Amino acid sequence: MSRSFVRHFVFLGCMVLLFARCEFQPSLVFNRNIKMPDSAYIGMELTPSDSIYTFYESSSLSYDLRTFGLPVYSAVFFMDQEKVSESTDTTGTLYFSFDANSPGEHTLTLVVTTGSNSGSLADLLHAEGFLFTKSWMIIYAHANPPLPCELTGIKDTAGTVKISWTKYDGVAFKEYALLKASDLKGNIWDEHVIQTITDQNVTSVYDSTHVGGLVYYKVRVRNSGGYANSGTYVHETNKSNLQATWISGNKIKVSWTPCIFYRNFKQYTITDETFGGDVVYSTDTIGISSFIYDGGVFGGANKFKISLEAKTDNYIYNDNNNSTAKVNVGQSFPVFKSFNNNQINNIVYLLTDDYKLTKINAITGQSFGTLSLGYGTSWCAVSPQDNLIIAPPTTSFSGYVRIDPANFFSPANINMPVTNAPCMETTLSGTGIGMVRFEMPQTGYKIYDFFNKREVFTKTTTDLTCGKISPDGNYVITGFSYYSSLAHCYKITNNDFEPVWIANARPVDFALNSNKVVLINSSYQVELRDISSSQVVNSFFIGQNDQYQDTDPFHPLMLFTTWSGYIDQCKLKVYNYLTGQKVFEMVSMNTGSSSFAIQDSTIFSGAGMKIKIH
């Protein structure tokens, strides 16, 4: 029994020992041997840097945390006890609302929580770190409007303008603003800010917008309470002084004073303001001071304007008095309604709207006097030999006016029957004969010698119409009416009108010295036809809208006009009828109902101008 007890006791004891320690129990530990940090430093700065901030309006401060590698878990700002901002950034901006805070002193506190960078488990799990605090005083106060600054100097220098002013020494400064205007009369219609300066210590700037002229400057200082303007200071330099000079024909020289403000100069732009303001010239070369314009308009003042454009702000300097120029293209000449010349000399007789006849040398301009023909005189006829002038009666009781050019101021009357009347289109031949129409008791035509005041012959007929006597006095050409399409030529012979030829064209004038008639057919072809032989000596084509005006008695030149869309504007064209070439062309103004004539290579405008062509 004792052996069995020992046996069982030993067996059970071994089992207890066996199973008591058999389960695996992890016991080893990785000890990292890290030391606990005891202190750290960071920088906490506001910009602008100060310890006391006085705000006169809503403002912003930026903060900058220099953590030297410590991670920022939070950066919290408190205004007094109230949290106003929270971030994890090391830099940022803090906005201070003026309206949301009561006037007076406040305390701004920044609380920054960072990690320890120890590398411990707590640090890695953001459960360990440092706490930093820093405070500033914030004062909210109201500011009064500032006292104005004054300009102390405006100086042209280095291609621009330097403007200086007195420094603003008050509180709550916000900015200086430099204002500029360029009107001459004090009506500051284009006043605008050209620069804004937010540094209180900067009291001078360079006006980079300036390109010259008369300008106003003033400086405006602004603080939180308002703003104040300085007085207005005038600065005047580098006026453009635009000038225009007529050279010849349609050429005009436009010149100006070069700009000295090269820093902002962009370009000159010249516009023709005569009609539409088209840009006729521009250049970005600052040294150029003139150009030749070949678009001059005859008959009045041509207007030009120069603009100095700046590189910045689309600023354009342009003052009324110095940036515009006028020039007349052509020379002045008396106003006339009809231009009556002859083939002997340059003496012409100008009939005006006030029924006066002026004798004048068309080239030299020398006037020989003016004769009043009486109210209602609408035409006159001049002999090609400059030996006779006739004009219609002004009343039914007065006779025709007969004027001897040699005795210009002593006109005489030619009494004719009431039923007799010179054709209004008539011309006088070199011998002084003209065509007269009579109606009662029968209808017919007369050839009348106005020089000798006698009738040459009378022809009773209804087949004729009024016509013009050829310069040599041997032929009558009919069909001068604007709506006519046929020209009839009759030879004056044996007291009769003998038909010679018929042309399918409308006669418009005689070439005085060559005894030729000028016709225009339906194909817009001009024909110079020898009156006696009916041969077309010269012909050339013109434009569809070209209207015949005159033929030069001394040069093979023929003047036409073409009306444009402008009421007071047309284009003058001069053709050489020998070659058919257009030898001159330019625009004319003030031509609403004006007559034009050409003599001795000079164009005359009834509006009172003349111009010599090439």
* Binding residues for other proteins (CB under 8 A): 3, 7, 10-11, 14-15, 18-19, 21-36, 118-125, 127-128
**Tokens 């030529």, located at residue:** 489
Dist. CA 367–CA 348, nearest whole Å: 10
> How does DSSP assign 182-248, residue by residue?
--SSS--TT-EEEEEE--TT--EEEETT--SEEEEEEEEEEETTEEEE---EEEEE-----EEEEEE
Question: What number of residues does the chain have?
Answer: 614
Among 208, 188, 209, which Cα is nearest to 315's?
209
Round to whole Å and give the CA distance between 295 and 65. Answer: 71
- SS3 at position 108: strand
Kindly list the distances between the CA atom of residue 317 and the CA atoms of 155, 291, 605, in Å, as whole numbers in the listed order: 18, 20, 38
Q: Closest by alpha carbon to 538, among 559, 513, 519?
A: 519
Beta bridge partners of 445: 437, 459
Q: Which of 211, 323, 209, 214 is nearest to 267 (CA)?
A: 211
**CA 496 to mean position of chain CA atoms:** 65
Which one, of 302, 295, 305, lies nearest residue 328 by Cα? 302
CB 552 within 8 A of CB 599: yes
Distance CA 267, CA 486 (A): 59
Q: What is the distance in angstroms between the CA of the first residue and the CA of the last residue of the chain?
A: 164
Q: Would you say 480 and 469 are in contact if contact means Cβ atoms under 8 Å apart?
A: no
Of 247, 217, 222, the C-alpha closest to 233 is: 217
